[in-house]
Amino acid sequence: MPAGQQQNHPQVPTYPPPESEDEESWVWSQIKAEARRDAESEPALASYLYATILSHPSLARSLSFHLANKLCSSTLLSTLLYDLFLGSLSAQPPVRAAAVADLLAVRHRDPACSSFSHCLLNYKGFLAVQAHRVAHLLWLQQRRPLALALQSRVADVFAVDIHPAARLGRGLLLDHATGVVIGETAVVGNNVSILHHVTLGGTGKAVGDRHPKIGDGVLIGAGATILGNVRIGEGAKIGAGSVVLIDVPPRTTAVGNPARLVGGKEKPARHEDVPGESMDHTSFISEWSDYTI
């Protein structure tokens, strides 16, 4: 495109935000700028971008609209859900702040995510988590049948099943997200990254506290199954396809079925980075001395 035409094009401000600005406003202004740019270059998508983003005065309204239209059904109408989401997001700044932290996390960690609006519109993991945050509020307000109905819609539409009682931190990335199951008494810390098909499940034996506790900065690879009231220490890494039934110490890596620590139980290899943020899925392989095919 010739330089002269660029001036007419919507400008997307550069990332990251200046320190002085409010994060929510900044992310929202980014999202609008991205959507404006995309609407201009792709008329076939412009209607969608106006409906979901550009017609809304705030992130809370845009997100409420988008979730309501994704999750509605013939018996749970979009206007009812819109009211519900908007009411919760408006009244609860921490829920909005968590959504913003999630948007920043996805953009930062996922190389396939090239814009905030892409995440807001298209990441079913992101959308499932935001719907969960509202369901969790309803759960805490003793509006349990409604919270469970919301969980059910998310499970149908996104194939992500998070019990409304589960407590999730901020800066969460659910990448791809299909098949993620998080049980009633699970707790997930901040800045955790969870790939698809991950289960934070119960032991099945008992009522009460029976699901995993995931520390801050943990990375859980695709298809990993963590069962029972076990503790995954902060910054730990769980390899793809692992089955974890026992606690994992902080900043260590567990792999395999049943999972074992890389480096062994006695001298586990401790890493310094925060895998939930660096998203390093596979570097442990070189440390897994005998692993060649």
Interacting residues with a copy of itself between 87 and 106 (CB under 8 A): none
Taking the complex as a whole, the smallest distance from the CB of residue 152 to a copy of itself amounts, in Å, to 4
Taking the complex as a whole, the smallest distance from the CB of residue 169 to a copy of itself amounts, in Å, to 19
In this structure, what token pair is assigned to residue 47?
A: 């209607």
Q: Does 215 bind a copy of itself (CB under 8 A)?
A: no
Q: In this chain, which of 43, 267, 272, 289 binds a copy of itself, going by CB under 8 A?
A: 43
Taking the complex as a whole, the smallest distance from the CB of residue 2 to a copy of itself amounts, in Å, to 16
Residues 143 and 124: their CA atoms lie apart, in Å, by 24
At 271, is the secondary structure helix, strand, or coil? Answer: coil
Q: Which is nearer to a copy of itself, 70 or 170 (CB)?
A: 70
Q: CB–CB of 226/241 below 8 Å?
A: no
Q: In this chain, which of 96, 133, 210, 271 binds a copy of itself, going by CB under 8 A?
A: 210
Q: Does 194 bind a copy of itself (CB under 8 A)?
A: no
Q: In this chain, which of 9, 11, 47, 93 binds a copy of itself, going by CB under 8 A?
A: 47
Residues 205 and 208: their CA atoms lie apart, in Å, by 10
Q: Does 7 bind a copy of itself (CB under 8 A)?
A: no
Residues 205 and 200: their CA atoms lie apart, in Å, by 15
Q: Does 282 bind a copy of itself (CB under 8 A)?
A: yes
Query: Residues near 103 by Cβ (< 8 Å), separated by ≥ 6?
Result: 27, 116, 119, 120, 126
Q: Does 212 bind a copy of itself (CB under 8 A)?
A: no
Give the side-chain half-sphere CA count within 13 A for 231.
Answer: 5
Q: Does 1 bind a copy of itself (CB under 8 A)?
A: no
Q: In this chain, which of 225, 235, 251, 274 binds a copy of itself, going by CB under 8 A?
A: 225
Any idea how long the chain is? Answer: 293
- Could you give the strand order of the β-sheet that contains 253-255, starting from the edge strand earlier in sequence? 173-174, 193-194, 219-220, 237-238, 253-255, 260-261
Please, which residues bridge with residue 227 across strands? 201
Q: Which is nearer to a copy of itself, 9 or 97 (CB)?
A: 9
DSSP structure class, residue 166:
-
Distances (CA, A) of 260 to 252, 283, 284: 10, 16, 12
Q: Does 205 bind a copy of itself (CB under 8 A)?
A: yes
Sites for a copy of itself among residues 104-163 (CB under 8 A): 109, 111-112, 114, 118, 121-124, 143-146, 148-149, 151-152, 155-159, 161, 163
Sites for a copy of itself among residues 51-70 (CB under 8 A): 51-52, 54-55, 61, 65-66, 68-70
Q: Which is nearer to a copy of itself, 17 or 146 (CB)?
A: 146
Burial bucket for residue 44 (CB in 10 Å: 0-12, 13-18, 19+): exposed
Reply yes or no: is the peptide bond before residue 258 cis, omega within 30 of 0: yes
Query: Given the rule CB under 8 A, which of 12-20, 21-29, 90-98, 214-222 is the region that contacts a copy of itself?
Result: 214-222
